[in-house]
Amino acid sequence: MTVQVHGGEGRELQVFVTLEGEEPWTVSQRGVDDLESRSKEWIRLGIQRLFQKSYQLTPSPWGTLTGVRPTKLAHSLYDDGMSWPQISRTLQELYGLNPEKTELLLDIAQGQRVFFHPSPNDPIGIYLGIPFCPTRCSYCSFAAYPLTTHGHLFRDFLAGLKREIKAIGALIHELDLQVESVYLGGGTPTTLMGSDLQEILDLLREQVFTAATVEFTVEAGRPETLSLETLQILKDTGVERISINPQTMHDETLQAIGREHTVADVHRAFWAARRVGIPIINMDIILGLPGEELGHVEHTLQEIARLGPDNLTVHSLSLKRAARLSKEALNIAHGQGEAMVHMARDVAFDLGMKPYYLYRQRQILGGLENIGYALPQLSSIYNVQMMEERQTIIALGGGGITKLVAPDLSLVRQANPKCPAGYSQQIKEGLSEKVEQIRRHFTAGK
Ligand code: SF4
């Protein structure tokens, strides 16, 4: 392969990419402001196009974009002064996105702008990770330890968590920070039950809630953890959003992927949450689960439409290193991935929802994406802020990753151990250092 770049005179740029035995891929344009970065993107696109042609590869709908957060590119182009139509052209001509993904990306990015604040540090978000689950799903790559094998670490974990909440709460008050959203994820936060759950939620309200707090979410996740008592505690403590995640509405698949609940459990948990009066219910599904074809997804979506959640998050199956499923699982429904995505989109639209956040993963079914849909005014602020990385999020608990965002949107990450034992140890030895680093972030330049 040879690559030639000519640029300079009159800001004209020409790029030639040649693969032996193939017609060269060429592009030329006048009036290019940033010759270096544009030539890099065109070389990338040229190489991709030639390889696709030469090896008859299916073109990626996302062109040369491989990152997890493609919306960040649209936002950064907009911040640089481009109009939305110019961004649309750039995404297609320079990055090779197909028109459908371009439209999706722009639709989501435009809708997200209302959530952005002038400063990434006012207000901030709080995440709290509970790294326990009833069992471990075969596709899981999160901080998730089955209670059956790791339940003996639970008490120490909880003691550490309370210390961390109090330490971060004290810092929030000392620095007079404002907190916009509080999100409990994991793992499965509703593995906490009864007085343990009540105590953690009360502590959060007392320590980290501020006058600016407008969203309180608990990702309940596994429906079998949602007893009436748990739902009532969530409601009474002011939790406004929960997730009840079926992933599929087929019992055989649920069994096969290691989730020990049934479709009936999903229905029971959903209606119980509605009766108790939790205002917003999200449901997560995964497209391309092993053994599932288009007909399975259609049935799952019909069942979900009958329930009528307020948010629907549609994941395309993706496998990270920590997952037990093998990569071959991604091939099973590979050819049907796009059709499944379309089917899910149509059902979400029929339910009156719009896409409001999006992310991609490596090793994802058909090179596709994950999309969060929501009814009007019911999008999760936390999901947008976490995905777009324009707000500092302080993460507590197992596997939480704090992101300290500077005014120029550069990031410093700070990770809590995923393992409950490692977490408890870190709280004993490293909590003051964590607090100090966060304090330095907020007081820099003052
Ligand atoms: S419920 Fe979620 S976090 Fe828990 S094991 Fe399954 S995929 Fe992982």
pLDDT digits (tens, 9 = 90+) for 14-45: 888 998 888 889 988 888 888 888 889 999 99
Q: Which two tokens stand for residue 127?
A: 């995440």
Phi, then psi, of 259 in degrees rounded to 5: -95, 130
* pLDDT at residue number 270: 98
C-beta 145 within 6 A of ligand 1? no
Which residue blocks in 237-336 are alpha helix, DSSP H?
251-256, 263-276, 294-307, 329-332
Cα dist from 284 to 181, 221, 321, whole Å: 20, 8, 21
Which residue blocks in 292-406 are alpha helix, DSSP H?
294-307, 329-332, 337-350, 381-388
Ligand 1 pocket, mutate which of 130, 136, 226, 259 (most atoms under 8 A from CB):
136
Cα of 105 to ligand 1 centre, how many Å?
28
Q: Which helix (H) or strand (E) holds 426?
A: helix 420-443
* pLDDT at residue number 166: 98
Residue with the smallest CA separation from ligand 1 atom 3 is 187
C-alpha 353/C-alpha 100 separation (Å) is 18
C-beta 144 within 6 A of ligand 1? yes
Residues 6 or more apart from 155 whose CB is under 8 A from it? none
Q: Which atom of ligand 1 is nearest to the CA of 259?
A: 6
* pLDDT at residue number 335: 64
C-beta 186 within 6 A of ligand 1? yes
Token pair 């640029």 is found at: 7
C-beta 221 within 6 A of ligand 1? yes
C-alpha 120/C-alpha 388 separation (Å) is 11
Ligand 1 pocket, mutate which of 130, 133, 145 (most atoms under 8 A from CB):
133
Cα of 347 to ligand 1 centre, how many Å?
25
Residue with the smallest CA separation from ligand 1 atom 8 is 140
The CA-based angle 362-363-369, given to 5 degrees, is 65
Q: Which two tokens stand for residue 24?
A: 């060269």
C-beta 133 within 6 A of ligand 1? yes
C-beta 188 within 6 A of ligand 1? yes
Cα of 143 to ligand 1 centre, how many Å?
8
Which residue blocks in 29-180 are alpha helix, DSSP H?
35-54, 70-79, 84-93, 99-112, 147-150, 154-174
Stretches where the chain sits below pLDDT 50 are 333
Cα of 139 to ligand 1 centre, how many Å?
8
Q: Which atom of ligand 1 is nearest to the CA of 133?
A: 4
